[in-house]
Chain A
């Protein structure tokens, strides 16, 4: 109910309501953006684009489900487009650079805690398609059928990306443990 009222107030031009929505879902969106892009600057850009697009379409917008899911899906879509654009650039310039070039940038205006940094680094090891499915499933709580629909693939494809992604994460985490153990030794 609160979200519906906030959306209604935004339709009337309330910047206060927009601020409330932002504060309410900022962390969820930043976590998703960082997990998908592993780049603070890019995360800020997609957040900006999502909110701008949200208010640009606010007059026709009708909230039927959860506002959180809606915003996270929009963010994932934006992040995918950004990732594609970056990928195209990196193919021309530096094939190894891919996406995760920005995590060490000096920009400290977004401060991630240790867990988010860990999550974001682990996710960066996966292909974009796999991290997207894993994050939308875990963080936005979306079913595979819904994820598949939003990505334009079947539910089975979404599910198999999820499974392969988890397999890869298992080996990443196991390596981390091994490396941590060997370092101790």
Chain B
């Protein structure tokens, strides 16, 4: 074999393994320098330009997006003089019920996965994910039901994770938001107004950026009420995205969050899958949510006409 061929072969077959301590020694100085660089970047952002780090798993994105609602409610408050984060927390607690419909797309060509979550006072939560309706409280799953098979089941793991991450919302604080969004890695959050992204004066748009990754988050809010109505998270690397539509309620019946009452309806064959998925949900505008609502409305109007 010619020496050139022999050398090529030796190079191709050469391999070296390193112990973890060697890797650490090799990268020690470089890591330290990057940490300093990261600190510098954060400081260079300025007092009003604080950033958040967002980790990428789907559930974390979804949770981060929902928690972003809370963050936004705070943002306007914190810009006003004399208002502390305690006020922000209070403001968020003053929103009694909200619903977030979350679409998570894990790549540019992937089909989105939909989550629906309703949060109420006292840390009560109800979620619809795939064929499951999941009830939770304080971040813990209480019961999960498969509405197609009409039985109690083990909860979907993504539902468990999402509820767990949202579990601290009852004791909402800026720190909680940041911990949830960053997976415990950061620090500080204040999205910035992005005037270029505004298409109407009725709306205000905020952007938040990530430091280490490339995801960004955009929050659409109503200018007068300051309530957020939509959130988008986007990962430019893979076209991964999370879209959240937000709805608010002044009230929902307690039974809506009651797993026990829900379970009694599983055996009711007159209930369709759709009836079960949204059982006891009341639309704040008085519209029908399920076929049962439609029929009830019909029969009550007939009753009124009969009188």
Is A59 in the interface zone, CB < 8 Å from B? Answer: yes
Q: A5 to B11, alpha carbons, bound, how many Å?
A: 28
- Are A13 and B41 in contact (CB-based, < 8 A)? yes
Cβ of A9 within 8 Å of any chain B Cβ, yes or no, is yes
Find the residue from B10, B15, B37 having the highest chain A CB count within 10 A.
B10
Does A70 have its Cβ within 8 Å of any Cβ on chain B? Answer: no
CB distance B30 to A54 under 8 Å? Answer: yes
B211 beta carbon closer than 8 Å to chain A:
yes
Q: Tell me the complex Cα distance, A78–B213, Å.
A: 31
Interface size on A, residues (CB 8 A): 50
A143 in the interface (beta carbon within 8 A):
no
Cα A122 to Cα B8 in complex, Å, equals 13
Chain B residues near A11 (CB-CB < 8 A): 37
The reply to whether B18 and A30 form a contact with Cβ atoms under 8 Å apart is yes
Contact partner of B212 among A13, A55, A110, CB < 8 A? A13
B268 to chain A, nearest CB (A): 51
Residues from chain B with Cβ under 8 Å of A118 in the complex: 10
Report whether A10 and B34 are in contact in the complex, using a CB–CB cutoff of 8 Å: yes
> Secondary structure of the B side of the interface?
helix
Whether the pair A170, B33 counts as a contact (CB closer than 8 A) is no
Q: How far is the CB of B92 from chain A (nearest CB, A)?
A: 30
Report the minimal beta-carbon distance from A166 to chain B, rounded to whole angstroms. Answer: 5
Number of residue pairs spanning A and B whose beta carbons lie under 8 angstroms apart: 136
Docked-complex contact A110 and B22, CB < 8 angstroms: yes
Do A111 and B16 contact each other (CB < 8 Å), given the known contacts A13-B41, A166-B3? yes
Whether A44 contacts B7 in the complex (CB less than 8 A), given A13-B41, A119-B14, comes out as: no
Q: Does A34 contact B (CB under 8 A)?
A: yes
Name the B residues within 8 Å of A51 (CB-CB): 26-27, 29-30
Knowing A30-B16, A173-B6 are in contact, say whether A22-B38 is a contact too (CB < 8 A).
no
Are B34 and A14 in contact, CB atoms less than 8 angstroms apart?
yes
Q: Inside 8 A of B34's CB, which chain A residues have their CB?
A: 10, 13-15, 18, 55, 58
Q: Does B264 have its Cβ within 8 Å of any Cβ on chain A?
A: no
Check if A52 is an interface residue, CB within 8 A of chain B.
Answer: yes
Cβ-based interface call for B224 (8 A): no
Complex interface: chain A residues within 8 A of B4 (CB): 138, 166
Bound complex: CA A151 to CA B158 (Å)? 56
Residues in A whose Cβ lies below 8 Å from that of B13? 113, 115
Name the residue among A44, A109, A166, A169 with the largest chain B CB count within 10 angstroms. A109
A134 to chain B, nearest CB (A): 7
The answer to whether B15 touches A113 (Cβ under 8 A) is yes
B37: contacting residue among A59, A109, A115, A173, CB under 8 A: A59
Query: Please, which residues of chain B bring their CB within 8 A of the CB of A112?
Result: 14-16
Instruction: Write out, one digit per residue, whether chain A residues 125-166 have a CB within 8 A of any chain B CB (1) or not (0).
Output: 000000000110011000000000000000000000000001
Residue B25 CB within 8 A of the other chain: yes
B184-213 at interface with A (beta carbon < 8 Å): 211-213
Q: Give B277 Cβ to nearest chain A Cβ, in Å.
A: 40
User: Which residue of chain B lies nearest to A8 when distances are taken between CB atoms in the complex?
Assistant: B214
* A52 CA / B36 CA spacing, docked (Å): 13
- Listed in ascending order, the chain B residues whose CB lies under 8 Å from chain A are 1-4, 6-11, 13-19, 21-23, 25-31, 33-35, 37-41, 211-214, 237
Q: Write 15 A-B pairs (CB below 8 A) sorted by A numbering.
A: A15-B35, A18-B30, A26-B18, A35-B14, A48-B28, A52-B29, A52-B30, A108-B19, A111-B17, A113-B15, A115-B14, A116-B10, A118-B10, A119-B14, A166-B3
Residues of A at the B interface (CB closer than 8 Å) are 5, 8-19, 22, 26-27, 30-31, 34-35, 44, 47-48, 51-52, 54-56, 58-59, 108-113, 115-116, 118-119, 122, 134-135, 138-139, 166-167, 169-170, 173
New A-B pairs, 18, CB < 8 Å, besides A58-B37, A166-B4: A14-B38, A15-B34, A27-B15, A27-B16, A44-B25, A51-B30, A54-B30, A55-B37, A110-B17, A111-B17, A115-B13, A116-B10, A116-B14, A119-B14, A138-B7, A169-B6, A169-B7, A170-B3
